[in-house]
């Protein structure tokens, strides 16, 4: 069984000096490829550097390059040039993490929208897929995406936590959906249980979002309380349960989907 983790924050300080052990545990669990998330220009550079340092084979670690809505207020005239240079690197396979976050509003909403549109324009220009973030902003995100969707090769709403209306809005735009350990949270994720069955094969991918979103159903729980890619198997188990699929079946089609979406090499 092979899995691909489409979103791991490997540059997070809590992972410092632990990268090799994390990768080894992931591989032992069947997580053979990972997308390292870039959330700022500096963070995207660090994500790329980690991929190169930790995977000389250029087969297992790849990254995204983008500016998260929390950092959108830092977007300026030079940001597009800087990001284009990152996106031209072979290990960088998607634009993002970019999007809208109207839940925490760390950056003013007009600046979030400006940074998002600039990054969507880059994705169109370079014909790269997009790794999207959305919190409490599905209507506005859908409205913006409609102007770009016909010209984008693909886009995934990562860590989907929304309601039915948002999900079907994204599916109607032919977007992909990323599911995390949020679905394992009995306090706030149970609404996802019936929804994941509605995501068509070929549009569903799995992600840890590590070190965040440790699956609450995981037993035994790690003493650190920190999530890592090896625990993606728990997300797999929970999603398979609510889709009425076997673990092997779900692993096969979500891995195939991620491999196509990010244009990743096959692991033999």
Mean pLDDT of the region 233-237: 98
pLDDT over 80 at 74, yes or no: yes
pLDDT over 80 at 221, yes or no: yes
In a domain, 149, yes or no: yes
pLDDT band at 267 (very low <50, low <70, confident <90, very high): confident
Mean pLDDT of the region 240-245: 98
Q: What is the model's pLDDT at position 44? A: 97
**Average pLDDT value over all residues in the chain:** 96
Q: What domain count does the chain have?
A: 1
Q: Residues 145, 110: contact at Cβ < 8 Å? A: no
Q: Which residues are annotated as a binding site for a divalent metal cation?
A: 97, 133, 158, 209
With a pLDDT cut of 70, the percent of the chain lying above it is: 100
Mean pLDDT of the region 65-78: 95
Predicted confidence (pLDDT) per residue in 139-180, tens digit: 999 999 999 999 999 999 999 999 999 999 999 999 999 999
In a domain, 28, yes or no: yes
Q: What is the model's pLDDT at position 95? A: 98
What's the CA gap between 217 and 208, in Å, rounded?
Answer: 14
Domain containing residue 92: CATH number: 3.20.20.140
Q: What is the model's pLDDT at position 78? A: 95
Q: What is the model's pLDDT at position 245? A: 98
Q: Which residue segment(s) compose the domain that 42 sits in?
A: 3-262
What's the CA gap between 92 and 79, in Å, rounded?
Answer: 17
pLDDT over 80 at 97, yes or no: yes
Q: What is the model's pLDDT at position 10? A: 96
pLDDT over 80 at 213, yes or no: yes
pTM over 0.95, yes/no? yes
Which segment of 60-64, 135-139, 204-208, 264-268 scores lowest on mean pLDDT?
A: 264-268
Q: How many CB atoms lie within 10 A of CB 12?
A: 15
What's the CA gap between 2 and 12, in Å, rounded?
Answer: 25
Q: Which residues are annotated as a binding site?
A: 97, 133, 158, 209
Task: Please report the DSSP string for the chain in residue order.
Answer: --EEEEEE-TTSGGGTT-HHHHHHHHHHTTEEEEEEPP-SHHHHHHHHHHHHHH-TTSSSEEEEE---GGGGGG--TTHHHHHHHHHTSTTEEEEEEEEEETTT-SS-HHHHHHHHHHHHHHHHHHT--EEEEEES-HHHHHHHHHTTGGG-S-EEETT----HHHHHHHHHTT-EEEE-GGGG-TTT-TTHHHHGGGSPTTSEEE---TTS---TT-SSPPTT----GGGHHHHHHHHHHHHT--HHHHHHHHHHHHHHHHTPPPP-
What's the CA gap between 251 and 236, in Å, rounded?
Answer: 7
In a domain, 267, yes or no: no
- Tell me the sheet residues that pair with 8: 36
pLDDT over 80 at 268, yes or no: no
Q: Residues 243, 197: contact at Cβ < 8 Å? A: yes
Q: What is the model's pLDDT at position 266? A: 93
In a domain, 177, yes or no: yes
Residue pointed to by tokens 């084979």: 57
In a domain, 100, yes or no: yes
pLDDT over 90 at 130, yes or no: yes
Q: What is the model's pLDDT at position 77? A: 85
In a domain, 77, yes or no: yes
């Amino acid at each position: 069984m092979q899995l691909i983790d489409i979103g791991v924050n490997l540059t997070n300080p809590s992972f410092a000096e632990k990268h090799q052990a994390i990768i080894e545990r992931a591989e032992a669990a069947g997580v053979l490829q990972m997308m390292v998330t870039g959330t700022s220009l500096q963070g995207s550079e660090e994500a790329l550097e980690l991929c190169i340092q930790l995977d000389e084979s250029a087969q297992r670690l790849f990254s995204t390059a983008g500016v998260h809505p929390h950092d959108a207020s830092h977007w300026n005239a030079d940001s597009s040039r800087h990001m284009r240079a990152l996106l031209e690197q072979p290990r960088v396979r998607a634009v993002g993490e970019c999007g809208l976050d109207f839940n925490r509003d760390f950056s003013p909403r007009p600046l979030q929208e400006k940074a998002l549109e600039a990054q969507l324009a880059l994705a169109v220009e370079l014909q790269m897929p997009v790794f999207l973030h959305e919190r409490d902003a599905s209507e506005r995100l859908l409205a913006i995406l409609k102007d770009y969707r016909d010209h984008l090769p693909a886009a995934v709403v990562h860590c989907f936590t929304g309601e039915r209306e948002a999900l079907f809005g994204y599916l109607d735009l032919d977007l992909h959906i990323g599911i995390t350990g949020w679905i394992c949270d009995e306090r706030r994720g149970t609404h996802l249980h019936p929804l994941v069955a509605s995501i068509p094969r070929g549009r569903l991918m799995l992600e840890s979002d590590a070190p965040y979103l440790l699956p609450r159903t995981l037993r035994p729980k790690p003493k650190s309380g920190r999530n890592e890619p090896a625990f993606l198997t728990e997300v797999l188990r929970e999603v398979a349960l609510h889709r009425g699929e076997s673990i092997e079946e779900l692993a096969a089609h979500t891995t195939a989907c991620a491999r196509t979406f990010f244009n990743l090499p096959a692991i033999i």
